């Protein structure tokens, strides 16, 4: 497939660095320095009109290159996907300290950079706009491709392929198996659901499995949970097709949006999640919202869907319809307009 995207990478001088999962790492400082050099070289030779900086580090790198090549009058779009400091805290890289206050100060400064800014979540947009004095950030949500859920094998065939009980009510979690995604809240909720509903079966699809290895040693996880790892993006539609319920245990602390939720919606699944602004904006009446950020509350929300086929059908239909408003095409058109607006200013 010709995507017309020309990918240029930095040299792999840090040959020992093999981390694949999301999250901070102090070695990334060295990688970022190399990325500044690469970005400067490309901007100097290609002479772009716009630099699009992804995440806080990307926005900072773009700003540095923009200022060094100031006579080119390049524009910068800062693309934020969460809170830099809160994500570092969620990965246990920062604790309440002077260093944390320093990073909070740096984050606020970066939030104000760029000729335009976009955010993938509503609560993150509100936080950023409290800092930006002009050119307020706009929502640029992730998307889903509805066609990926067409022409799939039957539910019974898919469950047989993955060795999942055919008559069970399948609750699916897909995504990173790391703490700031709320995975431990879900893992603690699973025994509570299974104790009450014998028909419930969980599918956990993602990476890295070593993050949840201790849970998987328990008997309940050996009999009532199917782990699929690593998760191929191309296998995702099949996993969601054979599922009855989607669950997203992410809290609001990192201010990240939820790409997995849009995929659940595209597949027409009802969703159990926590009561956050982002989740409400996505789902409206298509979700069952846990009353508190605890495994017990999440288990109650999941159980409500497990217990009622009619509720699952009603909520799933709402989500499938709402997914049509969150297409990649719609997001692309909005981003193109942002580009055109700042170019017109130039």
Q: To 10 degrees, what angle do helices 55-68 and 28-46 make? A: 40
- pLDDT value at position 80? 93
Domains 28-143+328-345 and 146-323 share a fold: yes
- pLDDT value at position 239? 97
Dihedral sign from CA coordinates of 159, 163, 165, 168: negative
d(CA 290, CA 279): 11
Q: Please report, for the chain, the start and end positions of each structural domain, with discontinuous segments joined by +.
A: 28-143+328-345, 146-323
Mean pLDDT by 10 residues, the chain (346 residues): 77 79 76 93 95 95 97 95 77 70 90 94 88 90 89 96 95 91 95 98 94 94 95 92 96 70 96 92 94 95 98 98 89 94 86
d(CA 200, CA 169): 5
Give the burial class of 58: count Cβ atoms within 10 A of its Cβ; 0-12 exposed, 13-18 middle, 19 or more buried. Answer: buried
How is domain 28-143+328-345 classified at the architecture level of CATH?
3-Layer(aba) Sandwich (3.40)
Half-sphere exposure for 40 (CA within 13 Å, toward CB): 14
- pLDDT value at position 221? 97
CB 186, CB 247: distance < 8 Å:
yes
d(CA 115, CA 172): 40
d(CA 180, CA 83): 12
3 state SS of 162 = coil
Tens-digit pLDDT profile for residues 219-234: 999 999 999 998 888 8
d(CA 37, CA 266): 40
E-strand ranges in 45-178 read 50-54, 75-80, 116-119, 138-139, 169-176
How is domain 146-323 classified at the architecture level of CATH?
3-Layer(aba) Sandwich (3.40)
- pLDDT value at position 144? 87
- pLDDT value at position 136? 93
- pLDDT value at position 47? 93
- pLDDT value at position 329? 86
- pLDDT value at position 1? 47
Q: Say how many C-beta atoms besides its own lie within 10 A of residue 4's C-beta.
A: 4
d(CA 65, CA 37): 9
Dihedral sign from CA coordinates of 275, 277, 278, 284: positive
Give the global pTM: 0.85
Buried b (16+ CB within 10 A) or exposed e, 30-56: ebbeebbebbeeebeeeeeebbbbebb
Following DSSP, what letter does each residue of 272-341 receive, concatenated? EEE--HHHHHHHGGGEEEESSSSHHHHHHHHHHHHH-HHHHHHHHHHHHHHHTTSBHHHHHHHHHHHHHH
In the beta sheet, which residues pair with residue 248? 273
DSSP 179: G
At residue 135, φ and ψ (nearest 5 deg) are 50, 65
First to last CA, the chain: 34
Q: Say how many C-beta atoms besides its own lie within 10 A of residue 26's C-beta.
A: 7
- pLDDT value at position 257? 66
d(CA 41, CA 146): 39
């Amino acid at each position: 497939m010709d995507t017309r995207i020309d990918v240029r990478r930095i040299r792999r001088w840090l040959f020992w660095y093999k981390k694949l999962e999301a999250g901070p790492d102090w070695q990334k400082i060295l990688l970022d320095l190399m990325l500044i050099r690469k970005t400067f070289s490309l901007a100097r030779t290609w002479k772009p009109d716009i630099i699009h900086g992804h995440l806080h580090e990307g926005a900072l790198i773009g700003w540095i290159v923009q200022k060094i090549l100031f006579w080119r009058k390049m524009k910068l779009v800062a693309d934020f996907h969460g809170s830099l400091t809160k994500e570092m805290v969620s990965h246990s890289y920062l604790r309440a300290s002077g260093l944390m206050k320093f990073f909070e100060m740096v984050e606020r400064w970066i939030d104000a950079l760029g000729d335009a800014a976009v955010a993938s979540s509503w609560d993150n947009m509100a936080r950023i706009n409290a800092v930006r004095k002009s050119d307020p950030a706009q929502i640029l949500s992730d998307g889903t491709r509805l066609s990926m859920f067409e022409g799939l094998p039957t539910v019974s065939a898919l469950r047989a392929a993955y060795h999942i009980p055919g008559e069970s009510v399948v609750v699916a979690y897909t995504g990173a198996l790391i703490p700031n995604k709320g995975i431990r809240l879900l893992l603690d909720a699973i025994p509570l659901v299974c104790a009450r509903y014998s028909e419930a079966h969980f599918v956990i699809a993602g990476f890295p499995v070593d993050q949840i290895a201790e849970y998987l040693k328990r008997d309940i996880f050996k009999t009532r949970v199917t782990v699929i790892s690593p998760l191929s993006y191309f296998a995702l539609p099949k996993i969601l097709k054979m599922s009855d319920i989607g669950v997203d245990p992410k809290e609001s602390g990192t201010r990240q949006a939820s790409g997995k939720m849009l995929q659940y919606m595209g597949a027409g699944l009802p969703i159990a999640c926590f009561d956050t602004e982002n989740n409400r904006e996505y789902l409206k009446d298509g979700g069952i919202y846990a009353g508190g950020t605890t495994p017990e509350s999440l288990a109650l929300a999941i159980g409500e869907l497990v217990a009622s086929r009619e509720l699952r059908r009603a909520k799933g239909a709402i989500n499938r319809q709402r997914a049509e408003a969150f297409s990649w095409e719609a997001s692309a058109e909005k981003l193109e307009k942002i580009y055109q607006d700042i170019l017109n200013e130039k």
